[in-house]
């Protein structure tokens, strides 16, 4: 059983690496087996097909990134706005290494398969939307504290993920993280402007 679990996890890890490098459709079962160091028999023991591995990879991605963000330092700030801004600083600090190392498995997969593989699309949506939801309480608390009412916390949480996903596409187009960091800076500036403390005359404090 332990050996079987290891083979399964090796295939999931191979999917994370290969799909982030060359996309989902271009990654073959043979390549996944070769990268994982397992036989094709082992593959089909654990997964009915490549799509089933993709769903498992998206779920593993959600768990793995879930733990990373849950344990990250940005939750320690007392002010909810500081927590949201520190989340963006943390995202920016993750823009390290080669492009496949910092870009997103589920954003990459859903881009290709949204119309053709409903199960993978749903697993990717659950991953992106589930992560966005972890930001909602902090955003809602900041909106209440700073008297901001012109959008919902859920909408701003999803927008942060849109910016990150788009930043990854520009990083892929330009071959490096610099452009993605610049978009996170714009997003941070947006959130600072949204939550500027206002005095009782409605003027923004400088």
Measure Cα distances from 48 to 57, 74, 85, 199 in Å. Answer: 14, 40, 42, 61
| One of 26, 34, 64, 71 touching a second copy (CB under 8 A) | 26
- Name which of 97, 100, 98, 96 is nearest 22 in CA terms: 100
Shortest spacing between CB 174 and a second copy, in angstroms: 6
Say whether residue 173 binds a second copy (CB under 8 A): yes
Q: How far apart are CA 115 and CA 95, in angstroms?
A: 29
Please report how close the Cβ of residue 75 comes to a second copy at its closest, in angstroms. 24
Calpha distance 17→56 (Å, rounded): 14
Return the residues of window 31-90 that contact a second copy according to CB under 8 A.
Answer: none
Q: What are the residues binding a second copy (CB under 8 A)?
A: 21-26, 99-100, 106-108, 110-116, 121, 124-125, 128-129, 150-151, 155-156, 158-159, 161-167, 169-170, 172-175, 179-180, 182-183, 185-186, 189-190, 193-194, 196, 202-204, 206
């Amino acid at each position: 059983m332990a050996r079987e679990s290891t083979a399964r996890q090796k295939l999931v890890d191979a999917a994370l690496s290969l799909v982030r490098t060359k996309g989902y459709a271009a990654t073959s079962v043979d390549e996944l087996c070769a990268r994982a160091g397992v036989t094709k028999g082992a593959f089909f023991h654990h997964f009915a097909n490549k799509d089933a591995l993709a769903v498992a990879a998206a779920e593993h991605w959600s768990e793995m990134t879930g733990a990373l963000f849950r344990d990250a330092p940005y939750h320690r700030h007392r002010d909810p706005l500081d927590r949201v801004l520190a989340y963006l600083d943390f995202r920016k600090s993750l823009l390290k290494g080669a492009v496949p190392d910092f870009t997103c498995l589920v954003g990459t997969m859903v881009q290709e398969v949204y119309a053709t593989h409903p199960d993978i699309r749903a697993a990717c949506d659950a991953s992106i939307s589930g992560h966005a939801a972890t930001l909602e309480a902090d955003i809602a608390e900041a909106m209440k504290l700073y008297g901001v009412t012109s959008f919902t916390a859920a909408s701003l949480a999803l927008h942060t993920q849109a910016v990150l996903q788009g930043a990854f596409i520009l990083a892929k187009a330009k071959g490096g993280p610099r452009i993605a960091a610049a978009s996170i800076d714009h997003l941070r500036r947006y959130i600072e402007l949204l939550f500027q403390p206002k005095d009782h005359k409605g003027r923004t404090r400088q």
